[in-house]
Amino acid sequence: MNGSTRKPAGGEPEKSASATGGRAPGPGKPPIWRQDDGAPVSCLEKIKVLNENYAELLQIAQDAFEDALLIGCSEAQVRGVLHELVDGLRNPYPGAAPGPDDSGA
């Protein structure tokens, strides 16, 4: 493995942030899930849940996007609406203490 990638617990080798722009490494590939301090989530069960949620959201968003295009909606508008939807999500746990340490302790 070269110096530009590393393999975190339960994930694919991680590419540098500049290579991916902080997004998932490729279409349909979930990102390396990180805690507020930037450390990767290390609990394999948590990663599994996050990756399953990511895959489900990706499929639902893709289906809705394709439906809108087939109906004749503007691609730019649909993309904007999907962005607004995500931007409008609210955190039901503001100021809550982080969950148990992911180190397995």
> What's the pLDDT tens digit per position in 59-76?
999 999 999 999 999 999
pTM (two decimals) = 0.65
pLDDT at 99: 60
CB atoms < 10 A from the CB of 49, how many? 12
What tens digit of pLDDT does each residue of 22-58 get? 555 556 799 999 999 999 999 999 999 999 999 999 9
pLDDT at 69: 98
